[in-house]
Amino acid sequence: MRTFLFVLSKHNEDIRCLTTLSHFGFECLPTQLVNKSIQKGFSFNILCVGETGIGKSTLINTLFNTNMKENKTSHFYSKVGLKVKTYELQERNIPLKLTVVKTVGYGDQINKESSYQPVVEYLDAQFEAYLQEELKIKRSLVDYHDSRIHVCLYFIAPTGHSLKSLDLLTMKNIDRRVNIIPLIAKADSLSKMDLQKFKSNIMSELVSNGIQIYQFPIDEEDDDNSQCLLPFAVVGSMEEVKVGKRMVKGRHYPWGVLQVENENHCDFVKLRDLLLCTNMEDLKDQTHTQHYECYRSSRLQKLGFNDTGPNNQPVSFQEMYEAKRQEFHGQCLREEEELKQTFMLRVKEKELTFKDAEKELQDKFEHLKRIQQEEILKLEEERRKLEEQIIDFYKTKTASETSQAQVCANVKKDKDRKK
């Protein structure tokens, strides 16, 4: 039987020290968590924002040592879009579900004012989907595929001067929604002196414009300050080139070979270590505890939920929900009454309109009836006159025939006399 002994501290009676007399086994808790996590698997979501052809796909392939074959993107998109791809990766029996979201047609339009809008809408949509899953009565967060973006790799064109207005506008609108890590893409196109000056200009512009980028956790054992390396000057390549007697990933130029994994040539190794080996879990924690919580609190406040009541007294979610339900019920009743009143007014207006139309039709009917009666009287008068004319005609005809017969008789008498 395992036994243990409690010893009260002399300095503070509230603190109890546990002196173990045998092995308990809770030292295996980390191992249990590791085994459970390995069985469940890990997920990581990356957003790549940058112009077409700046090297987003190449860098992702180099980071994860994969060949994610994709069709080449055109420069002739009427608006900015997003391409979402999910990959199942495995390294030493550790599974990773990697979701890569890349911008399509970013910066190719003449009017670039709203180029950042699809990115903002996508980030908010993932937060909203997770919030809706949380608010369900029967939640399935264990099996839920968390699509919230954990890090945004923002690709900066190697101009050597300063950030473009589109870069500043986009990062200003997404810095509250995602962890931003700025990268200078195709850094081999700049000399070391120009590269350092370009880095300094970028950081000063980010600070002056109040743009928040991801702050790497300070490691006391690490002498190098990771934050000083920002923005990372990176070069991506899956091409194998020969350097001495070994093959390395790099790019072959007339002046020599650029090695991707050589820290003297670029910051690729630093980016890979800080992004995947050291701070992947911190990026996920920052996404949940900072960016998602900010969105969640703002969203619930817009819906009318607060942690305090009218008297600044703490209230439970149930009380707030009941109050909102009562408020919504009262609002529905008020709107229903308003709709009834509006309906009655419209019915009365229609009745008045119909009455006016009916009166107008009645007046028109009476007018037509009078006209018809007048026409009938006129026709009766004309018929009477025509009948009188017919009678006079027959009288005249009869008188004419009578006189003609008399004349004929007189003529005949005259003839008879002469004989």
Please provide residue 13's backbone torsions phi and psi, each rounded to the nearest 5 degrees.
-70, -15
Question: What is the rounded distance in angstroms from the CA atom of residue 58 to the CA atom of residue 35?
Answer: 33
Distance from first CA to last CA of the chain, Å, rounded?
A: 187
Report the pLDDT value the prediction gives residue 174, as an integer from 0 to 100.
95
Cα separation, 38 vs 322, in Å, equals: 42
Give the model's pLDDT for residue 2.
41
Residue with token string 């007014």: 345
Least confident of 143-152, 174-183, 318-327, 366-375: 318-327
* Contact in structure between 152 and 181 (CB atoms under 8 Å): yes
Pairing type for strands 180-184 and 151-156 reads parallel
> Directed axis angle between helix 165-174 and helix 117-135, to 10°?
10
Of the listed ranges 104-113, 187-196, 283-292, the least confidently predicted one is 104-113
**In the structure, what pLDDT confidence band is assigned to residue 249 with cuts at 50, 70 and 90?**
confident
Question: Strand pairing of 151-156 and 42-49?
Answer: parallel
Q: Is the pLDDT of residue 42 over 50?
A: yes
Calpha distance 200→203 (Å, rounded) = 5
Model confidence band, residue 20 (pLDDT cutoffs 50, 70, 90): low
Task: Choose from 19-23, 141-145, 214-218 the range with maximum mean pLDDT.
Answer: 214-218
pTM for the predicted model, two decimal places: 0.71
